[in-house]
Structure 1
Amino acid sequence: MDQVHHRAMDALQPFVHLADSGSASSPRFVANIITNATSSPHTYVFAELLERPAVQALRAPDAPAELQGYLTLLEIFAWGTWQDYQQTPNLPALSDEQARKLRLLSLISLASTIKPLTYESLMTSLSLSAPSDLETLVTTAIYSSLITARLSPATTPPTVNVTSVAALRDVKPTSLPSIISTLMAWESRCGSVITGIEQEIAKIRLESARRRTSEHTRMVVIEKTLAKWNPESGEAITSGGGPAGRGVSSTRKSGWKKDISAALRGRDFFGGGSNKREFDDDAFFEENANEVDALASGMDIDEGAGARTGLGNAGARTAKRFLGKKS
């Protein structure tokens, strides 16, 4: 659609240059420029031509009355419709090219304002008597890239489904205040939306900072607790969990495994008090590292002539003990 607008602007430039030339001092010459510009098949925007001083001079009181209508006709081509032409008196007659051009321009405006766009409403607005004439006009607009549409003659009622229109209509000066008001209202709504988004972002950041602080505090407490109960550390802890010097304190100067082993060395595994040969953690006798309990039973073996002769005698002597016999 932007390419269509650029092509329309380029097509208007020759007529703008003619309006700025020295020959444009003649009202009749200016009227001919307007007629040719509105009849050209590629001109769809006319605001730049309408602003030329030579064209605006047709509005002067001393301009011929029969030529003043050309300025009004150019304004209708710029932002009016076919109905505006029909309702305005004392306008020049249109050629077939001008009539087709004004109907195409009116179709762009109607497609932007009327929903749904039925055959009946279009034929009434464009003064067309047959549906085939309307379909021919719509097809021309589609192939000229003025609108993107699809004809639906079999629906009830028959409609023209328009999905997009080209930005080829000029803005009427009297409509500028309403456009400015609409844009200002839109800007205000956008500002409110942005403010709400910024407030939500601030809340999210505040909540995230709070969670990070809470997580950091929790991790510090966990690390301190783990440090107090670390078996390999020499940190002093009290029975009440407080620092050393308050209440009954104890110092973990060695690991818990060493503490348990030292406590077990002072007792017999069978509750009979201390024994000079106890089975240690690695299944060796304390007195002699070469003496091994063949059954790995963890109990003492009676001393005797055959106690250290071999694994077989040790196993037999141990079995006798279990049976209540002693050699």
Structure 2
Amino acid sequence: MASLEPFLLISKSAKGAAAAKLVQDVTSAPGVFVFAELLELPNIQEARSIVTEQHAPCFSLLQLFSYRTFRDYLGRLRHVCACTLLTLLIAEHKDSLPPLNQAQITKLKYLTIVTLATERHILPYSLLLEELQVATIRELEDLIIDAIYLDVLRGKLDQKEQQLEIEYTMGRDLEPGKLEKLLEALQSWATTTATVLSELDQKLIEAGTYSAAVQLANEQHEKVYLANLKMVQERQKDGKGGRRGQLSQNSVDSMDIDELPSDGPKLRIRKPTMDAALKQSQRKRNRA
């Protein structure tokens, strides 16, 4: 837009030959890729009704760069060249186009890629070679790289698959009568986007519910695990204390054990009973 501003200032006073010259200059100028504001100016619109060999083509030329393609230029040029001189002067003169210089041809090819990118995300080299009338793939790739540097488009050159993958393109002027079609496309896109967003929201809700359930299950599992671990530790502790108490209670004087050495005579140590102790005490008193 900033690149077009100087031409808009000049165009306010440009008429006739000056307007035609202005169109030639703006379509050749580097960095200028939108022309709608210039095309709508009254003095430029007047060129549409001027039927002179010098001024008539400027309006058609501006239309070409606003929203048409290199193929449109080639088709129109071939059609004009096929006409008789009389037909050219009478019927086709207002729609004829002047020859383009190299800067204009290159710019129109950039804009053609932009238009093609609105129809498909991946542009095969074969399609681009045909639409742009480029002789070699090397020349085509150089053209695309220049367009990327100018920020006309962004994309990736896939030399293996012989295609251009589009990521972004600048916008072009909208041709009269195409607004309704654009609005329909935008409405369809909005509907599709709303459906996709609704499905994504549902998926997010389901994912959140599942995540909460998994977290709750993990927490419950952790609680059960810790409880079981604590119970096992307490049982182990109680078991060790019980055995120590038992060993203290069953001391040597209360043990009734058979010692069975592997290489000696068997010895039997028996704890004296309470009755035997009483009888022994009674015998000592009787002797006394």
- Which TM-score band (shorter chain)? 0.5 to 0.7
Cα 1:139/1:52, change in 2 over 3 Å: closer
1:223 alignment counterpart: 230
CA distance, structure 1, for counterparts of residue 166 and residue 187 of structure 2:
23
Task: Give secondary structure in 2 for the equivalent of 1:23.
Answer: coil
What CA distance in whole angstroms lies between the structure 2 residues aligned with 1:53 and 1:171?
10
After superposition, the C-alpha distances for 1:56-97 in whole angstroms (9 at most, x for unaligned) are 66447x963446764443233133212223455614313323
Q: Does 1:142 pair with 2:139?
A: no
Amino acid at match of 1:11: S
Task: Give matches, 1:207-286, under 5 Å.
Answer: 207-220=214-227, 222-224=229-231, 226-227=233-234, 230-231=237-238, 255-265=242-252, 266-270=254-258, 272-274=269-271
Separation of aligned partners in 1, 2:59 and 2:18? 13
How far apart, CA to CA, are the structure 1 residues paired with 2:235 and 2:117?
80
CA offset digits 1:11-47 (Å, max 9, x no partner): 333223334xx425x465444332211012x13421x
Counterpart for residue 92 of structure 1: 97
Residue 176 of structure 1 aligns with an amino acid whose one-letter code is: L
Counterpart of 1:103?
A: 109
Q: Please report how far the alpha carbon of residue 199 of structure 1 lies from its aligned counterpart in structure 2 after TM superposition.
A: 1.3
In structure 2, the partner of 1:39 is 28
User: Displacement, 1:232?
Assistant: 8.9
Long gaps (5+) in structure 1: 1-8, 234-253, 277-327
The answer to whether the 8 Å contact 1:37/1:43 transfers is no
Higher relative contact order (CA 8 A, sep 6+): 2
Correspondences of 1:1-327 after superposition (within 5 Å): 9-19=1-11, 22-24=12-14, 26=15, 29-40=18-29, 42-46=30-34, 49-52=35-38, 55=41, 58-59=44-45, 64-66=49-51, 70-87=58-75, 90-97=95-102, 98-110=104-116, 113=120, 115-118=123-126, 121-122=127-128, 124-126=130-132, 131=135, 136=139, 139-143=142-146, 145=149, 161-163=163-165, 167-170=169-172, 172=174, 174=178, 176-177=182-183, 178-220=185-227, 222-224=229-231, 226-227=233-234, 230-231=237-238, 255-265=242-252, 266-270=254-258, 272-274=269-271
1:76 to 1:165, Cα distance in 2 relative to 1, 3 A: farther
Q: Partner amino acid for 1:116?
A: P
* CA contact 2:124–2:164 (8 Å) conserved in 1: no
Q: 5+ residue gaps in structure 2?
A: 77-91, 259-267, 274-288
State the aligned residue count. 231
Residue in structure 1 matched with residue 278 of structure 2 by the alignment? none
Q: Give 1:106's aligned amino acid.
A: T
Q: Which string of whole-angstrom CA distances, capped at 9 and with x for unpartnered residues, describes residues 254-283 of structure 1?
A: 64312223124312433542269xxxxxxx
Cα distance in 2, alignment partners of residues 73 and 180 from structure 1: 32
Q: Secondary structure at the match of 2:238?
A: coil
* Structure 2 letter corresponding to 1:51: E
Give the greater-gyration-radius structure (CA): 1
CA distance in 1, matches of 2:141, 2:27: 19
- Larger proportion of helix: 2
